[in-house]
Structure 1
């Protein structure tokens, strides 16, 4: 989501989030599911154990049940956050404080933008399958308040923006797990989406 606590470099051979999401999409297509389809798949490995994340408070099941009452609003919000995350990565690519950005920075930001764009494609595709379209306008109060804390100028601004992105990513990962668990029976197609995204985040 609007996102990043990801490493600035990638280990060769490590499964990427893009591959995880594409696998989930293929499974969804093979199952031919839409809203209200059959039983959910076996829970992912990541869902079988609680996450240990450095957060001061945690999302409740009550929150998940509430947002799942409006799948369109949930996915519309998610799609916009993925769009913002991709845009943010592309912008950060050119915000290195020195005259020339190091190669690893360019590769990392480019890869991040590509992954977030893939997530946007997947989420918006699910929306289209259900006859929904992304809204033209979107505001995120949570992210907006965090960005107000960013100091301006040079390295400190870059560092603060990365901290904010990491915090948003942590919260997103935590909520993926809650949503995947709560949606397993009521919205299995949504459960699979968030289980796959969470697996890729923690994997």
Structure 2
């Protein structure tokens, strides 16, 4: 993992913090700093990386791939899903070397779909690489993988997605932007309070996570028939509420812990 300077980190975080409508509550950070919560934090982070890859995969299968290519795409994720949801397979055998745009007929794609393909394949590869890196850290810490329940965060955002196209796609892309931006903000918040190795890992993620949120917004802007700012603002307020409201389940994207209220 490559290190980045404090100047670069600040530069990467500036647009993220400007985009988000609130900062992570101190109460959540206090809970995250507790040693007894580290396994849950890492496990949920691991699952979030897979879900980010799945979300990007859904976009490719729904809007870019034909039926044959869609089946190939499902095969990309299967080993990760088998391990995470069905507890099958050896985590050390997981890798992303087989991910490639070569399965797509790019000649038949319009400029928007080509751009989505480029951005989403890169995102999937990076998220699955991060998935593996979290597993390595958990292994070094002696944490056996045990699944945890999801937080209300992602579903709380997606509940506001419109049901007709292209507005449905626009909203999903904006949701993706907020999820990536919040992840980026929380990595930076956590970095000073964890071990040196984990801190370096979180800081190393800032480059890709900051770019991911911008990629999602660029795609939303490109496909929307109208200005997206009102939808961006709407989801920003929804996201703020999810982050600031009392939450009885501690997870990577959870709200303010109930016991602190």
Which TM-score applies when normalising by structure 1?
0.69
8 Å CA contact 2:49–2:131 kept in 1: the answer is yes
Corresponding position of 2:200: 192
**Which portions of structure 1, spanning 4 or more consecutive aligned residues, are displaced by more than 4 angstroms?**
47-50, 97-101
8 Å CA contact 2:53–2:128 kept in 1: the answer is yes
Which TM-score applies when normalising by structure 2?
0.55
Q: Give the number of aligned pairs.
A: 162
Per mean C-alpha deviation after superposition, the further-off stretch among 92-101 and 171-180 is 92-101
* Cα RMSD after superposing both structures: 2.6
Which of 80, 86, 101 aligns to 2:47? It is: 80
Q: 1:115 to 1:68 in 2, by over 3 A?
A: same
Which of 36, 43, 63 aligns to 2:28? It is: 63
Corresponding position of 1:5: none
Please state if 1:157 is matched with 2:143. no
In the TM superposition, 1:15-164 aligns within 5 A as: 22-23=1-2, 44-47=6-9, 51=14, 52-69=17-34, 70-96=37-63, 101=109, 102-164=113-175
Greater RCO, CA 8 A, separation 6+: 1
Which whole-Å CA distance do the structure 2 matches of 1:179 and 1:95 have between them?
Answer: 35
1:162-199 residue CA offsets vs partner (Å, 9 max, x unmatched): 1101011111111111111233xxx2222111111124
- The DSSP-based 3-state class of the residue aligned with 1:53 is helix
Which of 181, 187, 191 aligns to 1:170? It is: 181
Task: Structure 1 unaligned segments of length 5 or more: list them.
Answer: 1-21, 25-41
Which whole-Å CA distance do the structure 1 matches of 2:164 and 2:115 have between them?
Answer: 22
Which whole-Å CA distance do the structure 1 matches of 2:27 and 2:148 have between them?
Answer: 27
8 Å CA contact 1:47–1:181 kept in 2: the answer is no
Is the radius of gyration larger for structure 1 or structure 2? 2
Task: Structure 2 unaligned segments of length 5 or more: list them.
Answer: 67-107, 212-261
